[in-house]
Structure 1
Amino acid sequence: MTAVNTAAVNTTCPYCGVGCGVRAQVQGEGVTVSGDPQHPANLGRLCIKGSRLGDTLDLSGRLLHPMLGDRCVSWDQALDAAAGGLQQVIRTHGPQAVAFYGSGQLLTEDYYVANKLMKGFIGAGNMDTNSRLCMASAVAGYKRALGADWVPCRYRDLEQTDLVLLVGSNAAWAHPVLYQRLAEAKRQRPQMQVVLIDPRATASADLADRHLALQPGSDIALFNGLLHWLHQHDALDQAFLQQHTTGADAALAAAAGWDLARVSRETGLSPDALTAFFHQVAQAPRMMTLFSMGINQSSAGTDQVNAITNLHLATGRINTPGNGPFSLTGQPNAMGGREVGGLANQLAAHMGFSAEEVDRVGRFWGSDNVTPGPGLNATALFDALADGRIKAVWIMGTNPLVSLPDADRARQALAGCPLVIVSEVMQETDTAALAHIRLPALAWGEKEGTVTNSERTISRQRAFLPPPGEARGDWWIVSQVAQRLGFGAAFAYTHPHQIFCEHAALSGFENQGQRAFDISALATLTQEQYQQLTPQRWPLPALPRQARAFWHADDKARLLVVQPPVLPELTGYPLTLNSGRIRDQWHTMTRTGKAAALMRHTPEPVCVLHPADMADMAEGDIVCVTSPRGWLLARATTDNGQLRGSVFVPMHWNRQFSAQARVNALVEARVDPVSGQPQSKQTPVRVARWPAAWQGELFLRGEGAPPPDVGYWSRVTQPGVSDFILADRTPLAEPEAWLQALCGGGLLLQQAFMGAARHLLGWRDGELQAALYLHPQRLPGLDREAVVAAFRTPPVDAAARRALLAGRAAGEQAPRGAIVCSCFGIGELEIRRALAGGCASVEALGAVLKCGTHCGSCRPELKKLIQQAATQPA
């Protein structure tokens, strides 16, 4: 990036579905990022990931030129190859042999063009998206209950509600800005109650007045029992049920089988805990249920969503301020993708595949080749790759070989596909490694378009950086291929503004108020108006229409009969694996993995267990987690908040960051029969100690060094240094020779034996080339930042070199410990010393150390440390 100063640009964060407004400004060689105080989603707040967006914008590892195999080619060559390959497959095998797989990272304009090409002109429905993995069950549940993919809540409802149920959502880590908004609302109105319904006592338990640690997969049992109890105690809104719903009798009859005793057996919660919770729900005038992946990622995800909507409909707590079931979207544009038809069971603009809708879209697009029916969803698409029905696949902005269930089988399926096209920002990903054609796409900060967040608000993403190399917008890439396929007139776009206006016009085309999604008021925006567009919440119809609460033909909502799933039981796999996010990483780490600050909190994959499940394992051991489909290695850590019998492993690590830590290699591809969403939770596993002969940490000069050939490695991002956490089952007999070989020889070695540990430094021409810290049983405790700093500025005196050899900064007697506050790099030991020195609150710690004063994500951990300090003997 060239040195330049520019005015601040208002754009939108590219992470979760909260959709925070961001102010980005190029200053010199860097970019400063802050929250946009005018954006309704975040009102100026940002989490640590958003705050560190500027650290992710360098061009290291970027895909900057089109590639055929491993050869850089011109855009014309790459586009001709892509179009020619697709045309050959269509000519030989028909359009059903082609599939597109998109991403919630795409902008709405990108999504629209890709969906239009596949479903409108190629003529197959095989356009799906990674939103299938996170939001499909929420969509299906809303459509069954409310008649449309219609989120009936908004963020400001949090300031007006009396009771919040956090169900299957660790919002403190997955949606931290929204969680902090909830925390502020509770500070302003302490009488507001929060209930966490989750097998784990996650960071979100910090805010909860009650935590229901139910058994994994028992959510429907809980909500059926609650519905039945409310019915028994005359706590339902009978007038609302009669006027605005159907299906109540059947739903209540099905729930009648769930008495308190049965619910207690299924959930593992005591009758007293259940009764207290049921009373709490009955007495709350207003109630919101915030749910996320713990509900959606299930083979009964749609029923779980409808168990929640049943509760709100039966009590009339919906479509009024402070009330409603609120799906917290996982990705920045999962909703925008659904608006344009990015899921295989959608056509466009929230339309389906009735003959009337296919005809309508065909007339609007000017195509007589619109697909007449749905296509293959994500898991079915990879099944079709495996059995040869799909001969060509175009993957855009996602990494399915990490994120799909049964990931090793997905890898085998993709490896056998004759034509794999990948549009990506990074040159190396697990998926890009199998591409025949790689097309360089624009990244956040470089591209123009719109996204839609969890509360239906459309925001602009604006460019503030020039396109690097030959990277281009996804909409442009797809349009160029479409033109080469012979569809030039329908894809003659020169700016995303044209695509957005066409999309908006389609939303209102022959609508007459019958479809919930309508933004036709924006169809006539000029390019300048599009550029200046402020956040807008749909619907935004061009013509006045009658307001509707529900979108079924009879204007009534539906209560559904729902029953719990049957969970698999496998002998020899006694534990239940749940996966999910950690605080400072995002998806498969393509972006967040580039920021050293975001690696501080959790620098390697972990396996979290209840202490009673440790067996012969110890805290800090490397363990092998095995299911019938695969295995992974991670570092064991204990947490009393973890439900006994279950384990938690993060979803983020991939082959660029760890040897064997892809959690979805263990997960079975079981899907919800309604939504097609895979069950990423409740995987039967066993966990055993991986007997490492040694553990260590290796630092090498320069970024991007290949990992050493050892059984366990994990890469920790550092500026100017390759940092690997290592372990192996074979003893490292000659570490000096091993280190010399890694560095090409010629090192001047300095080493020390520190008890059982062995530390080595390698120098060349007065510069530190390598640092290796070994221990036979555990990972050596180091000050990573001090070691990394020595590569930039070598220590000059003997004391400083001895400190470096010990893995700490010169003169620093007190280590920081594991990082708790990533914003300011504050460690656990620093916090404990401050607590011992008299700090007794989060505010006091913030005044002394600054921790907890920026994004707020570390505040739950700070409170836990404060509680521990208060219970320890003086």
Structure 2
Amino acid sequence: MNAPLAHSPAVRTTCPYCGVGCGVLAKPDGAGGAAVTGDPGHPANFGRLCSKGSALGETLTLHDRLLYPMMRDGGGALARASWDAALDRVADGFKRIVAQHGPNAVAFYLSGQLLTEDYYVANKLMKGFIGSANVDTNSRLCMASSVAGHKRAFGADTVPGNYEDLDQADLLVLTGSNTAWCHPVLFQRMLANKRERGARIVVIDPRRTATADEADLFLPIAPGMDTVLFSGLLTYLADVAAVNWNYVTEHTAGFDDALARAREIAPDLPTVATKTGLTESDIARFYAWFAGTRRAVTCYSQGVNQSAQGTDKVGAIINCHLATGRIGLPGAGPFSLTGQPNAMGGREVGGLANQLAAHMGFSPEEVDRVGRFWQAPHMATHEGLKAVDMFDAIARGEIKALWVMGTNPAVSLPRAAAVREALSELELFVVSENVHANDTVSAKPHVLLPAAAWGERDGTVTNSERRISRQRSFLPLPGESKPDWWAVSEVAKRLGHGEAFAYRSAAEIFREHAALSAFENEGTRDFDIGGLDTLDDRAYARLAPIQWPVRDDASQTARFFADGKFFTPDRKAKFAMPAEPALADRLGDAFPLWLNTGRIRDQWHTMTRTGRSQRLGGHLPEAFVEIHPEDAARFGIVNGEYARIATAHGKCVLKAVVTTAQQRGMLFAPIHWSDATAGLARVGDMVIAATDPYSGQPESKATAATIAPVSFRWRGFALTRTPFAPPVDVPYARVAATGGYGLLFASDESPETWRQRAERIFANAECAEYLDAPGEQYRVAAFVDGRLAGALFVAPFHAAPEWDAVKTLFEAEAVSADARRALLSGRSADGAGSCGPLVCACFGVPLGVIREAIAAGAGDADAIGRAVKAGTNCGSCKPELKRILADERAPQTV
């Protein structure tokens, strides 16, 4: 391993989470970690970070890292291998399978976590030199419908505006986006605009989220009905003479047909109200605000994209902006909020199966152009298989070799259990990963390649406003890990393409990527960074955040389409003709509820990084399902107990949260937990695999489901220095604990059975025990050399033990005699009990501390922030602070 970068100055880099693309300053500590703060000079965030970004320093660990190549032998055992042996096996397998079955028998599945340079090399190899377009990415699950909607309307996958528009708009419409939790840094800009300029915020979402709590108007729309709402808006705009006819005539095509279709879908307010489940008065207010507000931005995210009608939803939104000419202007336009840190960069290099590099497609002219630039011998000539179709082809045996890079499809794809089964059928299954344990790795790849992680990688990413930023390394590469572009290039050399893949640095790849963007462009393509193709290595190392396009004349464009010219053949935007919306699944007696899935505030994707932070695990530590009180009563669901959710595709057992934030007839469950982090909580198993016919993006927001109560007699927790396997077929959650492992569980096993298990777990420790057989409780604390080595508490379900005080002692180097005596009570030596669940993850402020601040006189969220700092960083906990205030002020009933 390379020597640590001791006493190094702070390095400017970019956060590895969402598409906001926040700049961070990372100062290595010389011991493998770093202090991470927001970069005040980065134009995406100006120093602000969300809870996840604030905790980045806590996730920098080599624990559970994959540090060496590994290969599986004929008997199925996985063993360490050399890079040469591993790369030879990958290349030989690809070569053999292509020779026997053709290039379409192989595939890459990539990730929005990859750097642009990694993405570029992988796409070049597969599409230009192997000859298949079977390259897709987990971004297919994120923003593919936005891509398809942009291309249909604008002729290119162009995001028109930028983040400054969020500051300048007078109306901010957020549809299908819990921005307060998923893009909190941007949401704070919106709230500042509302506070300082009086901007209105409209939130359209089936759930009442933290974002909706800050809205001037909340529209709890029925699932899948966005197209109806925005078709109704287009009809309204025409009826009240709010259409900008000069703009429509000069710069667009297809308005009359689009309006006719809109009238078919949503002819009047009563029809819109019936289909959307909204009140006529709320719809009318939204329509009047939009019609009367020149500066309006419509932000949309996964609630729009993750739909079998996602492209039509995007088209219906764009139609309203085109009809009013509100595009390409300060504070006006449709705005796709991207989910991943480099989903945009992947789009730029052809990371999707229906794209070629530099925003080109598969027309004969574009195939020829890219082939000549690459001097590629085997250019793919048609689109490849999109993600869901790709894994279906694997299950059918049509794809026989797959290389997965930086993603976890055995969790994140629809029908995740079927995906895992399909992976087992591959003749060659290769995974490039940072960790040696996740659900995809558990699917038994033949080759595991250790990839560089955030903090070790060097390259670029592009955020939601088309801003290219550098991700710089500030830690040495551990073990034998390597950048993904290096591993792909080495395989390319073994396939006989060494001259085209003789890259020595990420800078070389970037220069080639930039040159291709300008090749035979002449302003006909939106993506052009030709002005950066001559950057030498030093200039690349210093590259400041920059928005594309950056053309050869060094001109930049902050907003597209201000001149009314688009990238269609006639340079006019095209109105979309959306279909009548209809959900892909159907409700019935067996499955009478809609299951909606999504993200929570403090976790990211499948938790391989955020799951390492104890602070991030403190807010919502267990997988859960939300249900409306009336549905809970109907199905016998009790708040805080467990429920079994089932669909035609799979089932989970999750903790029930009964809340009026959830609509009647709907369930919501987060996507983050997996078999590696929880029991019975892999929500992807339940999701229907229906996809949008244009984008191929799967429907993740409406699967027919049912729910039933599940009872357990006991609940408990365990803290251990080494992991242990909990019982099978029970719900549990692994939660990060400083210096070890935490586990929350429910069980039907008796305290005596848990006592026997504890004897095995803590066999070499000095143990203090408490067993209350009549009270059905068991507690044990284990000590080694005066330090708490572990603890296990079990109690009846409704008297579940809390672990706050025990976790504090678990972090200590030594435990005093007084603390040791008090430990089995679950309280600290000074008598303090639980401080309750975490509310503010940025500063680690729990519920109990917030209640104390309120009792001491803090009368609003800002006052709580002044007292205990909660809500003063990313602000995503402020809606929760307001709810706590309301609860504390509510009259108490006896």
* TM-score category (smaller protein): over 0.9
1: CA distance between counterparts of 2:570 and 2:810? 71
Which runs of 5 or more residues in structure 2 are unaligned?
73-77, 558-562
Aligned residue for 2:828, secondary structure, equals coil
**What residue in structure 1 maps to residue 339 of structure 2?**
330
Q: 1:707 matched to which residue of 2?
A: 726
Partner in structure 1 of residue 228 of structure 2? 221
Residue 419 of structure 1 deviates from its aligned partner by: 0.5
Work out which of the residue numbers 64, 68, 71 in structure 1 matches 2:71.
Answer: 68
> 1:5-47 CA distances to partner (integer Å, 9 max, x unpaired)?
1011101111000001111111243311111111111111111
Q: Retained in 1: the 8 A contact 2:771–2:778?
A: yes
- The one of 76, 80, 87 equivalent to 1:79 is 87
- Name the residue aligned to 2:837: 818
Asked whether the equivalents of residues 140 and 675 of structure 1 are also in contact (C-alpha less than 8 Å), the reply is yes
Distance 1:522 1:484 in 2: 31
Closer, same or farther: CA 362–734 of 1 in aligned 2, 3 Å: closer
- 1:662 aligns to what? 682
Which residue of 545, 552, 558 maps to 1:542? 552
Distance in 2, Cα, partners of 1:16 & 1:785:
34
SS of alignment partner, residue 815 of structure 1: coil
Tell me the equivalent position of 2:147. Answer: 139
Residue 37 of structure 1 aligns with which residue? 40
Q: Structure 1: which amino acid aligns with 2:888?
A: A
Q: Is the 8 A contact 2:794 2:801 kept in 1?
A: no
The corresponding residue for 1:509 is 519
Q: Bigger shift: 561-570 or 704-713? A: 704-713
Pairing 1:129–2:129 present: no
- Of 177, 187, 190, which aligns to 1:169? 177
Residue 296 (structure 1) aligned with residue 305 (structure 2):
yes
Contact 2:251 2:564 in 1 (8 A): no
- Quick check: 2:4–2:476 contact (8 Å CA) kept in 1? no
Change (3 A) 1:764 1:320: closer
1:439 and 2:449 correspond: yes
Q: TM-score, normalised by structure 2?
A: 0.95
- Separation of aligned partners in 1, 2:179 and 2:40: 21
Residue 738 of structure 1 corresponds to 757
Query: CA 1:810/1:752 → structure 2, altered by over 3 Å: closer, same or farther?
Result: farther
Alignment of 1:381-530 (within 5 A): 381-433=390-442, 434-530=444-540
Equivalent residue number for residue 213 of structure 2: 206
Alignment counterpart, residue 698 of structure 1, candidates 704, 709, 718: 718
1:516-575 superposed Cα distances (whole Å, 9 cap, x missing partner): 101001001111000000011111111489976311111111111213432222322121
Other structure's SS at 2:615 match: helix
How far the C-alpha of 1:708 sits from its partner, in A, is 4.1
Hey, what's the Cα distance between the residues in 2 that align with 1:21 and 1:513? 30
Aligned-pair distance for 1:789?
A: 2.3
Q: Which residue of 2 aligns with 1:346?
A: 355
Aligned: 1:590 with 2:619? no
> Secondary structure of the residue that 1:178 maps to in structure 2?
helix
| Other structure's SS at 1:326 match | strand
Shift of 1:781: 4.5
Shift of 1:270: 1.2
Give the conservation status (yes or no) of the 8 Å contact 1:696–1:779: no
The amino acid across from 1:342 in the alignment is G
Q: Give yes or no for contact 2:652–2:682 (8 Å, CA) kept in 1.
A: yes
Aligned mates of 2:806, 2:97 — CA distance in 1: 56
Is contact 2:751-2:795 (8 Å) kept? no
1:560 aligns with 2:562: no
* CA distance, structure 2, for counterparts of residue 767 and residue 421 of structure 1: 42
Q: Which residue of 1 aligns with 2:163?
A: 155
CA distance in 2, matches of 1:781, 1:227: 56
Residue type matched to 2:836 in 1? G
**Distance in 1 separating the partners of 2:837 and 2:301:** 29
Shift of 1:284: 1.1
Q: Percent identity?
A: 49
Greater shift, 614-623 or 112-121, is seen at: 614-623
Q: How does 1:694-773 map to 2 (within 5 A)?
A: 694-700=714-720, 702-709=721-728, 711-744=730-763, 748-751=767-770, 753=772, 756=775, 758-765=777-784, 766-773=786-793
Segment drifting more, 614-623 vs 576-585:
614-623
Question: What is the alpha-carbon distance in structure 2 between the residues aligned to residue 406 and residue 709 of structure 1?
Answer: 21
The 3-state SS of whatever aligns with 1:596 is coil
One-letter amino acid matched to 1:554: D
Q: Report what 2:202 is aligned to.
A: 195
- Which deviates further from its counterpart, 192-201 or 841-850? 841-850
CA displacement at 1:612 relative to structure 2:
1.6
- Alignment partners' CA distance in 1, 2:761 and 2:52: 33
Q: Given that residues 654 and 662 in structure 1 are in contact (C-alpha distance below 8 angstroms), is that contact kept between their aligned partners in structure 2? A: yes
**CA–CA distance in 1 between the matches of 2:762 and 2:288?**
67
- Contact map agreement 1:169 1:291 (CA 8 A) in 2: yes
In structure 2, what is the Cα distance between the partners aligned to 1:397 and 1:793?
36
Q: Report the secondary structure of 1:262's partner residue.
A: helix
Displacement after TM superposition at 1:648 (Å): 1.0
Q: Supply the distance in 2 between the matched residues of 1:268 and 1:836 (Cα, whole angstroms).
A: 40
Q: 1:833 to 1:536 in 2, by over 3 A?
A: same
* C-alpha distance in structure 2 between counterparts of 1:473 and 1:548, whole Å: 42
Letter in structure 1 aligned against 2:59: T
Taking the aligned partners of 1:414 and 1:337, their CA distance within structure 2 comes to 24
Q: Match of 2:644? A: 624
Runs of 4+ in 1 over 6 A off after TM superposition: 544-548
**2:116 aligned residue:** 108
Deviation at 1:176, TM superposition (A): 0.9
The alpha carbon displacement at 1:755 in A equals: 9.0
- Deviations along 1:109-134, one digit per CA (max 9) or x if unpaired, are 00000000000000011011111001
Q: TM-score, length-normalised on structure 1?
A: 0.97
Distance in 2 separating the partners of 1:245 and 1:579: 36
Q: 8 Å contact 1:710–1:728 — kept in the other structure?
A: no
Pick which of 825-834 and 648-657 moved more: 825-834
| Shift in Å, 1:313 | 0.7
Aligned residue in 1 for 2:15: 13
CA distance in 1, matches of 2:767, 2:50: 44
AA matched with 1:10: R
Distance in 2 (alpha carbons) for counterparts of 1:792 and 1:563? 61
What amino acid does structure 1 have at the position aligned with 2:804? R
- Which one of 678, 689, 705 corresponds to residue 709 of structure 2? 689
Change (3 A) 1:711 1:814: closer
Determine the structure 2 residue equivalent to 1:531.
541
Give me the whole-angstrom Cα distance separating, in 1, the residues matched to 2:632 and 2:231.
34
Name the CA distance, whole Å, in 1 between partners of 2:832 and 2:427: 60
Larger mean Cα displacement after TM superposition, 289-298 or 779-788: 779-788
Secondary structure in 2 aligned to 1:199? coil
Q: Look up the equivalent residue of 1:831 and give its one-letter code.
A: I
Aligned length: 871
Greater mean deviation of Cα atoms: 367-376 or 560-569: 560-569
> Which deviates further from its counterpart, 540-549 or 58-67?
540-549
Q: Give the CA deviation at 1:212.
A: 0.5
Compared CA separation, residues 502 and 566, structure 1 to 2 (3 A): same
Moved more, 827-836 or 492-501: 827-836
1:311 to 320, 327, 333: 320
Are the equivalent residues in 2 in contact too, given 1:65–1:439 (CA < 8 A)? Answer: yes
| Distance in 2 of aligned mates of 1:377 and 1:367 | 23
Structure 1 stretch 668-677 or stretch 368-377: which is displaced more?
368-377
SS of residue matched to 1:5: coil
Which residue pairs with 1:376 in the alignment? Answer: 385
> Secondary structure of 2:678's partner?
coil
Determine if contact 2:603/2:672 at 8 Å carries over to the other structure. yes
Change (3 A) 1:219 1:451: same
CA-atom RMSD, angstroms?
1.8
Q: Which amino acid aligns with 1:357?
A: E
Q: CA deviation at 1:2?
A: 4.1
Corresponding position: 1:830 with 2:840: no
Distance 1:790 1:447, change over 3 A: closer
- 1:795 is aligned, of 811, 815, 820, to 815
Change (3 A) 1:416 1:873: same
Is contact 1:787–1:809 with CA below 8 Å preserved after alignment? no
